[in-house]
Amino acid sequence: MSAKRRAKRVDLAGVAVITGAGSGIGRATAFELARHGATVHLADISGPAVEAVVGGIRAAGGSARAHEVDVTDSHALEALAARVYEADGGVDVLHNNAGIGFSGPIEQTSVEDWRRIVEINLMGVVHGITAFVPRMLEQRRPSHIVNTASGLGLIPAIQLAPYCATKHAVVGMSQSLDLELSPRGIGVTALCPGIIATGIVKHSTVRDESGLRKQKAVDFYERRGASPEAVAEAAVNAIRKRRSIQVVPAMHVYPAWIAGRISTRAGAVAARLADRLMWRGE
């Protein structure tokens, strides 16, 4: 590799900041980047959860620091960025990952439900961007932002309109930012996982009359979900290859995504099939 290309590479052994790092995909990315030698700053709304991840990384010989942060609070993200820059002087990888799920019939979805998911899944990413990007532009080294969107940022899904709205927004935002920022040294990836076996469904509101839907979804994610470690590896790969969209696992997302790009009707058929598979176990 030429010296010029090497100089443009993001240092995976540098400094990383990950939100929603107390569980699931964020936790797995924290371990993966620490394994590459990064000093990882881990933020989560749950202090004890993120402390436990920090403990695990340190026990494995890595360098990690916990921060109790609610991503809906722009001031808290700003304070986090100030702390990280004071401690380590730069950020090589920012992973805006914290998020929640929400599912339910639209007539049972209140304005408060919409606001909550938009505040966490969309504004949480926005707050990460506004706090860190000005500082990342000032530092004289290349860096990368991974925004966790979802396969549902590329395709539609039934009873998931608020979630899909936030994740489609994160994909559009990430692609636009990648175009704007990559010539200035910051690559941006929209990470689009399919079904991943994490705590997401357990931590989510699933509204239904029968009360059975949530348990069905928990079982489905445990049975069919890919590992969060596979997502973490894909995220690191996306940073290395400077991909603006990273789907993982490919088979969970590509068929419906491609169907939808060929024709809206084909995409709708794929979305209905996915819904049947998930809720009725067909």
Q: Which is nearer to ligand NAI, 39 or 150 (CB)?
A: 150
Pair of tokens at residue 23: 């569980």
Of the two residues 126 and 200, which places its CB atom closer to ligand NAI in the complex? 200
Number of residues that this document lists for the chain: 282
Quote the CA–CA distance of 56 and 25 in Å, as a whole number: 15
**Contact letters for ligand NAI, residues 4-43 (x by CB under 6 A):** ---------------xx-xxxxx-----------------
How many other β-carbons are positioned within 10 Å of the β-carbon of residue 223?
10
Q: How far apart are CA 179 and CA 101, in angstroms?
A: 28
For residue 55 the two structure tokens come to 């403990």
Choose, by CB under 6 A, the member of 71, 154, 171, 190 that binds ligand NAI: 71
Tokens of 50: 């993120």
Task: Give me the active site residues, please.
Answer: 163
Query: If we measure between CA atoms, which residue out of 20, 37, 4, 6 comes closest to residue 236?
Result: 37
The Cα diameter of the chain in Å comes to 61
Shortest distance, position 135 Cβ to ligand NAI, whole Å: 20
Site string for ligand NAI, 51-70 (x = CB under 6 A): ------------------xx
Q: Site for ligand NAI (CB under 6 A): how many residues?
A: 30
Closest distance to ligand NAI from the beta carbon of 229 (Å) = 12
Per CB under 6 A, residues contacting ligand NAI are 19-20, 22-26, 44-46, 49, 69-72, 97-100, 120, 124, 148, 150, 193, 195-196, 198-200, 203
